[in-house]
Structure 1
Amino acid sequence: MEPRIGGRPTAHIIEYLRKPQHPKQQHYPFSCQRSFFYFSSRYALADGIRALGLRRGDTVLLPAYNCGIEIEPFHYFGLRTEFYQIDKELKVSLPDLREKIKGNIAALLVTHYLGFPQDTEQIKAICNDHGVFLIEDCAHALLGSHNGADLGTYGDIAVFSVLKTLPVPNGGVLVVNNNNFRWAHQQLEPSRFSSAFYVADLLRQKTLPRGGLNVALESGAYGAFYQGMNIAKRFIAAARKISNSRGLSLARPDSYDFREDLIPWGTSKASERIIAGTDMSRVKKTRRDNFGKYLAWFLAERPAGITLPFTELPEGVCPLFFPLIFEEEGKREIVHARMKERGITTYPWWDRFHPAVPWDEYPDAVYLKKHLFGLPVHQDLEPAMIERVLTEFADLMQH
């Protein structure tokens, strides 16, 4: 049996349960005294909005290329959202930003897409010149740095998504860098069922080496665990309808919903154990090494109909995945489906269009929404697995 290549890293089930040997993680942002922990990054952002003192009716400037869920916390607090250009190389258009920020803007959100830093020094200077708060969106950029400084240290606040990089069932971080603001977050423990269900979902998609009896047994056990949790989920959903309850136990940190009830939730004990026990340097090195293998192949082979938004891996970047752009619309969905049939998870990235964005004004953002595709680089992948991804990808591109 060929190895299954999942889209996210996972841990052994025991690691979600046992007490870590190193109770305090020393890597930023976990070591920062003014870091606060949440169920996911959208709720970290929601509390960050409150920490900055933004008020109903204030205007915030957001990147036109976005997931969509990061818009929801601003709308929840009654803020107006305007947008600025992102080019096809996933870079902030500084001329457009300078023009847009001249208005009555209270805060600017800047996103380090896929772990690659924006021109943070220039953007910070623009914000300072106009008295605008800078919010660093580091959801893709955990463990990343730029010019020797950790990403997340440039903004007045910064938000991180832990679950995009580490095998946790939930986790977002808010860092308050601006010393003019005081903030406290008395976090509530998330639903244990929600955490357990997400762990089961992670494990059923676990990246596994080439098959053998032990691998087959492990895969079967994880599949059974997920099926059992899924049955329990259906019972809870049915009971929720009968009782008309809020059903918070079914909440997922990666859903597209924004629910105010989840703002007080912190990270689970399972997530804390994984964070504390993870060798962050190894995670970053592995992801960079895997990215480098893809990059070398694509630069050598130069497959037709594909462009690369990044043709080098700058020092300090901890990549989320390896991005490429299919020039033909619809091609990425075909490749995604066929790679999935072969047991390989890929990413047709950010294909949803939030209604708040005037998409006709941002053709580059629309292009990225329809064409950007990703291959996995996460820390569970061994060199042979990267070779298999490339072999399968090359085969598909020839047919």
Structure 2
Amino acid sequence: MNAEARHNARYPNAIVPMSPVLSSATLSLTRDKRQTSILSCQYSREVTSGRAAIALALENSGVQKGDEVLIPAFHCESMISPARWREATPVFFRVTPKAEIDLDDITRKITPRTKAIIVTHYFGFLQDLSGIRTLCDEKGIVLIEDCAHAFFGTRDGKPVGSIGDYAIASSMKFFPCYDGGILASNSVPLNTINLTGFSTLFHLKSFFNIIERAISFGRLGWFGRALKALISFKQLIWGYIKKKRPQHVSQGPSASDGGYGFESSWVHSSTSKPSSFIVNNADQKRIVEARRKNYLRYLEALKGLQGATPLFDNLPEGYVPLVFPLYVKNPVQPFESLKQKAVPIWRFGEYLDPAVDETLDPNSVDFSNHVFQFPCHQELKEEEIDWIIQQIKETIQ
């Protein structure tokens, strides 16, 4: 058990879903509800996770041993491990106090060995990539646009994911999937990337996981209650299969179970069929509108909160947030209290690479310690958001 797993084991499970769960309103089989997203890029492939997509982008662009990959100092492990898988050296660059890339620091960090640069749209707020795009073109460096926090959206009329040579996304953060990520590009054909499928057992695992999670949070109504008997039967059968044929039972990538580990065996795999079906048939208009509405609900309720400030004080048109990020002045006790109350809360970049300290980038260290994230996804109920807001106010104020 790693440090992250040991840390999370101390707390009860959140009683409100931290990420989307399947509901009767999730799907729409009409195409008029498609929205501008990373899938608007000319080329795209469905893979197992966002970290697998980063690994494939690095591999496809020729990153190899001895190369350097520039990565934001404000990061999670799944952004670093793909570079190490390619035996490249991660080099960390600073972010600004507004959680934007520090172009001057990136310029200073570039060497003849710099092969690729990863830039991240934190929490769904899209970066201005015009400067870094020009710099990469001048230096012959591959630009990877990390859209793990920003599946949907536009800035200055340009779709998310359309600026980088490659773009990656995490479907699981925006859709009620068991697995799933996107590798996309507007300029690089991706048809030479070979992906393998899964056994029938894994597709079944994906399907039942999606259903079980929905039922555990009280979604799907009477239909979900009726499925409980089927789920119990599935668990008996699955236990028998694992006992008799353990070598044939795939447990799934760690990304699907909330971990940050990197497994090379999952890099060249495609999204499971149930997860792919949801991504391609979800009501995207509902996702966009609900996330923006929920974010603004938090913003209005928490303005002026003593001891905490929204990281972003407005939500620009065209942005579709992943979460609601809140900067908390004295974070230690509130974080512990909210976790113990089973409030869905986490901190992106909570475990930075040991190379990142106050000297390298004080802003990233500050964000890592002080920025809490709360869900604003489309499957939240109004009373659930009200309860989260109440707990935040009582705990922090």
Cα distance change of structure 1 residues 4 and 226 upon mapping to structure 2, 3 Å threshold = farther
Cα distance change of structure 1 residues 164 and 332 upon mapping to structure 2, 3 Å threshold = farther
Aligned with 1:324 (options 326, 341, 346): 326
Deviations 1:128-161 (A, max 9, x none): 2222111000011001211111110000000011
Q: Secondary structure at the match of 1:347?
A: coil
Q: Would the aligned equivalents of 1:88 and 1:367 in 2 still touch at CA under 8 Å? A: no
Aligned to 1:211: none
Tell whether 2:385 aligns with 1:386.
yes
Tell whether 2:61 aligns with 1:52.
yes
Equivalents in 1 of 2:105, 2:154: separation in Å? 25
After superposition, the CA RMSD in angstroms is 3.2
Q: Would the aligned equivalents of 2:69 and 2:89 in 1 still touch at CA under 8 Å? A: yes
Deviations 1:101-140 (A, max 9, x none): 2553111000001111112112212222222111000011
Measured after TM superposition, the shift of residue 198 of structure 1 is 3.3
Which amino acid in 2 is paired with 1:325? Y
Aligned to 1:262: 266
Equivalent positions of 1:122-271 (< 5 A) are 122-179=131-188, 183-189=192-198, 191-196=202-207, 198-200=209-211, 202-206=213-217, 245=247, 248-252=250-254, 253=256, 254-271=258-275
Q: Would the aligned equivalents of 1:6 and 1:207 in 2 still touch at CA under 8 Å? A: no
Aligned with 2:129 (options 101, 117, 120): 120
Aligned to 2:113: 104
Which amino acid in 2 is paired with 1:312? N
Measured after TM superposition, the shift of residue 202 of structure 1 is 2.6
Q: 5+ unaligned residues in a row in structure 2: which ranges?
A: 1-13
Aligned to 1:8: 19
Cα distance change of structure 1 residues 111 and 230 upon mapping to structure 2, 3 Å threshold = farther
Measured after TM superposition, the shift of residue 39 of structure 1 is 0.9
Give the % identical residues: 27
Q: Secondary structure at the match of 2:39?
A: coil
Measured after TM superposition, the shift of residue 52 of structure 1 is 1.1
Q: Would the aligned equivalents of 2:39 and 2:184 in 1 still touch at CA under 8 Å? A: no
Q: Would the aligned equivalents of 1:41 and 1:160 in 2 still touch at CA under 8 Å? A: yes
TM-score by length of 2: 0.84
Aligned to 1:286: 290
Deviates more, 1:150-159 or 1:262-271: 262-271
Aligned to 2:367: 368
Deviates more, 1:84-93 or 1:20-29: 20-29
Q: Would the aligned equivalents of 2:49 and 2:181 in 1 still touch at CA under 8 Å? A: yes
Which amino acid in 1 is paired with 2:318? G
Q: Would the aligned equivalents of 1:45 and 1:73 in 2 still touch at CA under 8 Å? A: yes
Cα distance change of structure 1 residues 397 and 132 upon mapping to structure 2, 3 Å threshold = same
Aligned to 2:301: 297
Aligned to 2:5: none
Equivalents in 1 of 2:46, 2:341: separation in Å? 35
Equivalents in 2 of 1:88, 1:201: separation in Å? 41
Measured after TM superposition, the shift of residue 237 of structure 1 is 6.6
Q: 5+ unaligned residues in a row in structure 1: which ranges?
A: 209-213
Equivalents in 2 of 1:103, 1:82: separation in Å? 13
Q: Would the aligned equivalents of 2:42 and 2:185 in 1 still touch at CA under 8 Å? A: no
Equivalents in 2 of 1:31, 1:382: separation in Å? 29
Q: Secondary structure at the match of 1:331?
A: helix
Cα distance change of structure 1 residues 231 and 87 upon mapping to structure 2, 3 Å threshold = farther
Q: Would the aligned equivalents of 1:7 and 1:376 in 2 still touch at CA under 8 Å? A: yes
Measured after TM superposition, the shift of residue 5 of structure 1 is 2.9
Tell whether 2:345 aligns with 1:336.
no
Cα distance change of structure 1 residues 68 and 360 upon mapping to structure 2, 3 Å threshold = farther
Deviates more, 1:99-108 or 1:222-231: 222-231
Q: How many residues align?
A: 379
Measured after TM superposition, the shift of residue 224 of structure 1 is 7.2
Q: Would the aligned equivalents of 1:170 and 1:267 in 2 still touch at CA under 8 Å? A: yes
Cα distance change of structure 1 residues 335 and 145 upon mapping to structure 2, 3 Å threshold = farther
Measured after TM superposition, the shift of residue 320 of structure 1 is 0.5
Q: Would the aligned equivalents of 1:37 and 1:187 in 2 still touch at CA under 8 Å? A: no
Cα distance change of structure 1 residues 355 and 232 upon mapping to structure 2, 3 Å threshold = farther
TM-score by length of 1: 0.83
Cα distance change of structure 1 residues 226 and 357 upon mapping to structure 2, 3 Å threshold = farther
Equivalents in 2 of 1:334, 1:181: separation in Å? 44
